[in-house]
């Protein structure tokens, strides 16, 4: 992206797609030649979206608004929230990765664990590339997850939470809603990874086709499903939701398994993200159709 080039949502999406298509780092780290990511969904949220303040109030004061994270980083040129756009993306897990992890019963399949390490390295490089490219084109930008002061804090309500949540950024950018297991269900399902960048750039936000933060989950929409409950090997999901501490401990245990079984340093799980109706799409028919029609309901109520 050349300096002063006219920037549009399409141009930013093209920048991301081109990186994935050409980056030598887009692979599983096993010499197989398989790419980690072969498609992407991109959404945009306004820096002035009231959701950012609601997150701050609901998740905790430590959770950054786009304005906060941008101005922490670019102290020399303060900007208003109205000048900022959050660019959020979804990297859907490939079929071969999902299929492999469907067979897993306790610890992740090798492909899934490789994505968690090497696919995420590619995602981090993508964050850096988008921020650097936009900055070079005259639109200073920062990837909040890569900010030096991004941190995880203990939270009374959530066990732990972080200064910036990719899932909440994606929700704001119209990319999906939360499921019973806490994962974000997107148009390409829940088996995916997310990234985002905050940029000083004026782009129209992506309309949110949902009204509630659980609209895409069958359990919350009509009381059915709950398939992710049975997929979790450590009972970290129940009708009451997701026990983050049980999940975290299982992820920690997976390190030994990955090292001994697959001979690299990694970890992961994601069993609840596959073999379920929301694995690769939106399982709630009405919500899926609303998205396909491009319905834009009134602004959603506060996350609660």
Query: Smallest Cα–Cα separation from 172: which of 71, 84, 70, 62?
Result: 84
Between 12 and 180, CB nearer to ligand SF4: 180
- Segment lying near ligand SF4 (by CB under 6 A), choices 64-72, 89-97, 157-165, 242-250: 242-250
Query: How many residues belong to the chain?
Result: 304
CB nearest ligand SF4: which residue?
Answer: 179
Q: How far is the CB of 209 from ligand SF4 (least distance, A)?
A: 17
CB neighbour list of residue 185: distance below 8 Å, 6 or more residues apart: 176, 177, 178, 179, 216, 217, 278, 282, 283
Interaction residues for ligand SF4, span 245-284 (CB under 6 A): 247, 250, 269-272, 276-278, 283
Interaction residues for ligand SF4, span 189-218 (CB under 6 A): 217-218
Query: Smallest Cα–Cα separation from 11: which of 139, 124, 123?
Result: 139
140 is an interface residue for ligand SF4 by CB under 6 A: no
Interaction residues for ligand SF4, span 163-182 (CB under 6 A): 179-181
Burial class (CB in 10 A: 0-12, 13-18, 19+), 220: middle
Phi and psi (nearest 5°) for 175? -95, -10
Task: Pick from 137, 236, 287, 291 the residue near ligand SF4 by CB under 6 A.
Answer: 236
CB neighbour list of residue 249: distance below 8 Å, 6 or more residues apart: 234
Residue 47 β-bridge partners: none
- Segment lying near ligand SF4 (by CB under 6 A), choices 83-91, 121-129, 157-165, 225-233: 225-233
Q: How far is the CB of 286 from ligand SF4 (least distance, A)?
A: 14
Residue 189 to residue 185: CA distance in whole angstroms:
5
Contact set with ligand SF4 (CB under 6 A): 179-181, 217-219, 225-228, 231-232, 234, 236-237, 242, 247, 250, 269-272, 276-278, 283
């Amino acid at each position: 992206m050349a300096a002063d080039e006219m920037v549009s949502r399409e141009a930013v999406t093209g920048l991301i797609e081109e990186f994935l298509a050409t980056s030598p780092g887009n692979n599983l780290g096993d010499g197989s030649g398989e790419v980690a990511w072969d498609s992407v969904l991109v959404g945009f949220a306004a820096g002035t979206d009231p959701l950012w303040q609601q997150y701050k109030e609901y998740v905790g004061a430590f959770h950054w608004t786009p304005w906060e994270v941008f101005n922490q980083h670019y102290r020399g040129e303060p900007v208003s929230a109205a000048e900022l756009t959050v660019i959020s993306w979804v990297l859907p897990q490939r079929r071969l990765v999902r299929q492999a992890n469907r067979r897993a019963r306790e610890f992740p399949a090798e492909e899934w664990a490789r994505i968690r390490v090497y696919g995420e390295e590619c995602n981090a490089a993508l964050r850096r590339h988008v921020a650097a490219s936009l900055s070079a084109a005259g639109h200073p930008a920062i990837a909040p997850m890569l900010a030096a002061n991004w941190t995880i804090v203990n939270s009374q309500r959530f066990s732990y939470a972080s200064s910036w949540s990719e899932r909440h950024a994606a929700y704001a950018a119209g990319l999906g809603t939360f499921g019973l297991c806490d994962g974000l269900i997107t148009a390409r399902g829940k088996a995916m990874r997310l990234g985002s960048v905050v940029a000083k750039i004026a782009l129209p936000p992506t309309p949110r086709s949902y009204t509630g933060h659980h609209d895409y989950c069958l359990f919350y929409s009509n009381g059915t499903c709950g398939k992710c409950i049975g997929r979790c090997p450590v009972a970290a999901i129940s009708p009451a939701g997701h026990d983050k501490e049980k999940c975290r401990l299982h992820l920690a245990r997976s390190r030994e398994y990955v090292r001994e079984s697959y001979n690299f340093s990694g970890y992961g799980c994601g069993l609840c993200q596959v073999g379920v109706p929301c694995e690769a799409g939106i399982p709630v028919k009405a919500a899926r159709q609303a998205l396909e029609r491009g319905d834009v309901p009134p602004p959603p109520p506060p996350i609660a």
